[in-house]
Structure 1
Amino acid sequence: MITPVAMGDGVGGAFTGRAGGVSTAPYDTLNMGGAVGDDAAAVLDNRRRVAAGLGVDPGRAVFMRQVHGAGVAFVTSPDLSEPVDAIVTTVPGLALAVLVADCAPVLLADPAAGIVGAAHSGRPGTAAGVVPALVKTMSERGADPARMTAAIGPAACGRCYEVPEAMRDEVAAVVPAAHATTSKGTAGLDIRAGIAEQLAAAGVTGVRVDPRCTIEDPGLFSYRRDGRTGRFAGYVWLKGDA
């Protein structure tokens, strides 16, 4: 299952779901994560299936070694050795991928400047400012935040994402909009609201938010709900060939 995202003329964007792949339980079926214990051949097959569905070259997809930080890398090929949580490119046909299972996948594009970016923004990354760092890096390479389109993908919602009160307060001290109360009346975090606040502060107003909650939606992978499980992906790319 693939959900397309409108990112502007000449830009492709999408979020994958859980169905339509070959992985077996507990990764069933469209697991995109290569570091969660799934069979490597199954993950490769899943990634090829998604690439075919998106119309991109499976050999030109960039996957990060995500570490819940705020590091950003500019990439011109699929080869990425350093651990980062955000990537940027100006190369057509190079698909940027972000893997998640409760954290927020964030896609950014400035079609006029011919630049796209993707970020993995969970609780630590949101507090560290990975999305503002991505906007800054894209701006340094010619993008204009006022022209940017942003898509915040499915993630654990504030009704479900329960955390200790001290942790909520620590995050909310730097990202106030992330402060939430769960459906049980306990301390929670709304990571997507926090990211939207960060984007607005950076001058990005064209923001779309996918309302699906990973914990509530069985069509999405959720680490908090299931523990050992797969990862779904967000993709963004400049259309055309390099």
Structure 2
Amino acid sequence: MIGQRDTVNGAHFAFTDRWGGVSAVPYEELNLGGAVGDDPQAVRTNRELAAKSLGLDPGEVVWMNQVHGNDVAVVDGPWDSTAGIPPVDAIVTVRRGRALAVLTADCVPVLLADPVAGIAAAAHAGRPGMIAGVVPAALRAMMELGAEPHRIVARTGPAVCGRCYEVPEPMRAEVAAVEPAAYAETSWGTPAVDVAAGVHAQLERFGVGDRAQSPVCTLESDDHFSYRRGRTTGRLAGYVWLD
């Protein structure tokens, strides 16, 4: 259920795998995405199971309506159910104990925390979002609230790797023109993009030194959902919160 977990100075980071939930094929088992065609009750149950396994209140986790952009929202608690969830790809909170979540199935889930300032953030960085600068936008929002880059801890979760993310050459050139570190080649010698490498390069330029990247490639791992592998599939989640 929780494939990876890390705690640094009271900042908690966790990434799920696909097992331990109740969803049926093709979303088996722990699909946490509510907009992929799965049974809504199964998704609610899965979110409850995942949250409780982390010691979190399922109703207090803040989710996003992700659209591959670079908009950031500062949040205090879950969205007003009557107003709906706005389209954002990064959320930031100054409330300790408030868990933020990001959904992925090949894109890079980015979790950030400044334990001293008590500021946490979660960002969804696919290829479009990485180019648009969603991670720098999240970092700037954190800094405006008092975070210091040298104190920020960054963790990126399971995502498709640069050896597998094949793209047309014009697309690779377009991405590399914005973020050279994302230039990659597949293991079979064709053009590729390494989104995680691009994200970590952006973090480094901001002065974020405490960074770690998951070794899991979602396309290669049967324990993780991959949109490129399955198209109709579930979503993994990354969670971040502060004591």
TM-score between both structures, scaled by the size of structure 1: 0.97
1:63 counterpart SS class: coil
**Which 4+ runs in 1 deviate beyond 4 A?**
none
Give yes or no for the alignment of 1:204 onto 2:212: no
1:98 touches 1:235 (CA, 8 Å); kept in 2? yes
Distance 1:185 1:10 in 2: 43
CA distance in 2, matches of 1:52, 1:177: 38
- Helix, strand or coil: the match of 1:5? strand
Q: What residue in structure 2 maps to residue 120 of structure 1?
A: 124
Structure 2 residue aligned with 1:100: 104
Instruction: Note if contact 1:18-1:220 (Cα within 8 Å) is conserved in structure 2.
Output: yes
1:124 Cα deviation after fit: 0.1
C-alpha contact (below 8 Å) 1:57/1:93 kept by paired residues: no
- Runs (5+) with no aligned partner, structure 2: none
For the structure 1 residues 4 and 183, does the alpha-carbon distance in structure 2 shift closer, same or farther, using more than 3 Å as the test?
closer
Structure 1 residues 56-95: Cα deviation after superposition (integer angstroms, max 9, x where no partner) = 1101011100000000000001106321000000112221
Q: Distance in 2 between matches of 1:126 and 1:82?
A: 20
Match of 2:224 in 1: 220
Q: C-alpha displacement at 1:7, in angstroms?
A: 4.3
For 1:131 and 1:8, how far apart are their aligned partners in 2? 20
Within a 5 Å distance, the mapping from 1:35-184 to structure 2 comes to 35-79=35-79, 81-184=85-188
Letter in 1 for 2:62: V
Counterpart CA distance in 2 for 1:227 and 1:218 is: 14
State the match for 2:23 in structure 1: 23
C-alpha distance in 1 between matches for 2:207 and 2:170: 30
For residues 12 and 234 of structure 2, the distance between their equivalents in structure 1, rounded to whole angstroms, comes to 24
* 2:237 corresponds to 1:233: yes
Superposed CA RMSD in Å reads 0.9
- What amino acid maps onto 1:166 in structure 2? P
State the alpha-carbon separation in 1 of the partners of residues 137 and 51 from structure 2. 28
